[in-house]
Amino acid sequence: MDKRVALVPGEQTFQARIDAEEKIEPKDWMPEKYRQNLIRQISQHAHSEVIGEQPEGNWITRAPSLERKAILMAKVQDEAGHGLYLYAATETLGITREELIDRLHTGASKYASIFNYPSLTWADIGAIGWLVDSAAIVNQVSLQNTSYGPYARAMVRICKEESFHQRQGYNIMMTLMNGSQVQRDMAQDALDRWWWPSLMMFGPHDGESAHSAQSMKWKIKRRSNDDLRQQFVDQAVQQAEAIGLVVPDPDLQWDDARGHYDFGAIDWEEFERVISGNGPCNRQRLAHHKRAHREGAWVREAMAVHEAKQRLSNEDVA
């Protein structure tokens, strides 16, 4: 007997499947709001992966060694692949790539706030790899158990590659902290600028989150924003201290009773400014993406002609 709950369209049956930890697949019945929530979250995740290539891509031509250049190129290439997996997962929900890109360009769709900050020095590449990819790993490991099959499976592959991203970033910070005073100061300056925006990556506090309650009920989200943020802080503080970096939070304090770090207040006004398009680099990031999309149109057109010809020749032989 197929252990999956009998499929009778309707919210209750759907919820019973979710509660039974079944994976929802593209052809399964799902509430329209579940579909729309997934399109929202997965597409914004995909946009984040692609836009996130910009701050790091800025340093490929300026990497301090051939080895660092090769590692950074590999990481940026990985991020493009993550974006493709996630766009492909979103398209299984019945939306086209063109619509998704249009939503990004019109601002109807967001991408991670963190990528609207400038990468000013080489140490920023270390801070991004170490902090941003650590935060992404904490979030994405939990998403490996998300209820939508294609999203969960994309996460398994992405998490494996993120571990390399995080290690290379932390290795840059460790190398700088073992260097000259100028290099140590550069690493500390990068931590000072990337610490708080990294905490914002996990979204608003649970009580302020517009989507968390429903996303948790549908097991799109498996852990809350604050729960994931706390795990990130607990591990990142120890990593910072291990290489002599000082976390820029005077309220940071280990709480023995809780077994976690207490930390200071996040500047949610800054967060709201950045996610509403008024961060330091929002305009550049979108302008760059629009230009690249325009300049790449000929590749998409050539592929479309090739695919049409392929279909015709397949029909001829059929």
The residues binding ligand 3HC (CB under 6 A) are 40-41, 44-45, 48-49, 52, 79, 82, 110, 112-113, 132-133, 136, 139, 162, 200-204, 209-212, 215, 221, 225, 275
Residue 21's identity, in one-letter code, is E
DSSP one-letter string for 139-167: HHHHHTT-SBHHHHHHHHHHHHHHHHHHH
CA distance 175 to 63: 14
Nearest to 90 by CA among 141, 145, 48: 48
Q: How far is the CB of 163 from ligand 3HC (least distance, A)?
A: 11
**Measured from the CB of residue 276, what is the shortest distance to ligand 3HC in angstroms?**
10
Vertex 159 angle, CA 115 and 161, to 5°? 80
Query: For residues 10 and 118, which CB has a smaller minimum distance to ligand 3HC in the complex?
Result: 118
CB 103 within 8 A of CB 109: yes
- What tokens appear for 211 in the block? 């989507």
**Amino acid at residue number 306:** H
> What is the spatial distance between Cα 46 and Cα 67, in angstroms, rounded to a whole number?
28
Rounded least distance, CB 203 to ligand 3HC, Å? 3
Given a contact cutoff of 8 angstroms between Cβ atoms, the answer to whether 203 and 209 are in contact is yes
Considering the complex, state which of residue 36 and residue 313 has its C-beta at the smaller distance from ligand 3HC: 36
Instruction: Name the residue nearer to ligand 3HC (CB basis): 150 or 203.
Output: 203
- Residue number, 210 or 299, with CB nearest to ligand 3HC: 210
117, 197 Cβ separation under 8 angstroms: yes
Block residue for tokens 């051939």: 66
Nearest approach in angstroms of CB 303 to ligand 3HC is 26
Q: Pick the closer one to ligand 3HC by CB: 105 or 311.
A: 105
* Residue whose CB is less far from ligand 3HC, 80 or 304: 80
First to last CA, the chain: 38
- Shortest CB 130 distance to ligand 3HC, Å: 11
Nearer to ligand 3HC, 269 or 315 (CB): 269
In degrees and rounded to multiples of 5, residue 280 shows phi and psi of -60, -35
d(CA 254, CA 281): 34
Q: How far is the CB of 93 from ligand 3HC (least distance, A)?
A: 15
Residue 299 Cβ vs ligand 3HC, minimum distance, rounded to whole Å = 24
